[in-house]
Amino acid sequence: MHIARSALSAALMATSARAFSPAASAFKSSSAAVSNLSRRTFSSTTSLNANVLKLTEPAKDLLPNVDVFIFDCDGVIWRGDSVIEGIPETLEKLRALGKKMYFVTNNSTKSRKGYKKKFDSLGLDVPAEEIFSSSFAAAAYLEQTNFKESGKKVYVVGEVGIQEELDLIGVPHFGGPEDAGKQPDMGPGCALPHDSDVGAVIVGFDRNINYYKIQYAQLCINENPGCEFIATNTDAVTHLTDAQEWAGNGSMVGAIKGCTGQEPTVVGKPSPLMIDYLCSKLGLDKGRICMVGDRLDTDILFGTDNGLKSLLVLSGVTTEEKLLSQENTITPDYYADSIVDFFVDENAKVEATA
């Protein structure tokens, strides 16, 4: 996706305070490019899973061939509110080698500003400019399609992350946490009124999803001409805590799909929007980028479908058994227990001398 070069130059010079606003670096592209993103069906073109290699010699096979690492967050950097053991030291070592890093999460509950606070709280020194969330991607998509100029509003099924990103680009919105606990009157002859000026419904992860929100969203999508259905992601499960998997945004999106019969525009992984933005902004070579994640159908597909190297870690939702099963057709270049294994040789030497 093409981004205006003048805007990109400004973005590269942005301070941490300005890094949270997508307005200065709006996604500019042709309508054809936007159409290509919308309702795109993602499918893997990778080889059979029998070819998956476990990373055993990162100093030879991985690190010399990668300039940029794109990391998922949940299941890769942290689980719930706990940083994965060895991650801070690993990130420091990668920076010492001159590797560039970006952190791209499908979790829309926080804005980039909110995720910066989370990184800080976990003792991870990550600049704001390296953080990209699906809540940001949703706002950027609306900028790309000149939604603000339509004068329409956005109805949000989701949390404050989406709202904060919409505020930064000046797009009016309602719903979200404010509709938690609401119940429609379903007595005889009752109907739930809805705003005919809603031009888009954004569905992100929502811990307060309820029937009111589902009904309001379907009314906007089904009855407002041209109302767009946008999903931040369709992850099946997520890490709310480090104790178990929890139902992800795929369940919220599925509810809206079920009552509208519409397929959403997905802006998070594995959509190409974020990687196209990064490559245009920084002039990155896709062949020198490695996507690292814990999900086959989002993170690894994001890598394989967009021409990146890919590495699956077993520190999140995907097990080795699932990766190597005959049913799996999504194949990363390598897999490892966690990104700590990037320096497995160095770590072994330290342990030997301890």
Q: What are the two backbone dihedrals, phi and then psi, of residue 209, each rounded to the nearest 5 degrees? A: -60, 140
Sheet containing 198-203, strands listed edge to edge, beginning at the edge strand earlier in sequence: 173-175, 153-157, 198-203, 228-231, 265-266
The dihedral region occupied by 108, where left means phi > 0, alpha psi between -120 and 50, and beta the remainder, is alpha
Provide the β-strand partners of residue 174: 155
How far is CA 257 from each of CA 172, 173, 174, 206, 273, rounded to the nearest angstrom?
Answer: 24, 21, 20, 16, 22
Contacts of 57 (CB under 8 A, 6+ apart): 345
**Residues designated as active site:** 67
Pairing between β-strand 78-79 and β-strand 82-83 as defined by DSSP bridges? antiparallel
Q: Counting Cβ atoms within 10 Å, is residue 294 exposed (0-12), middle (13-18) or buried (19+)? A: buried
For residue 325, the tally of other CB atoms under 10 A from its CB is 11
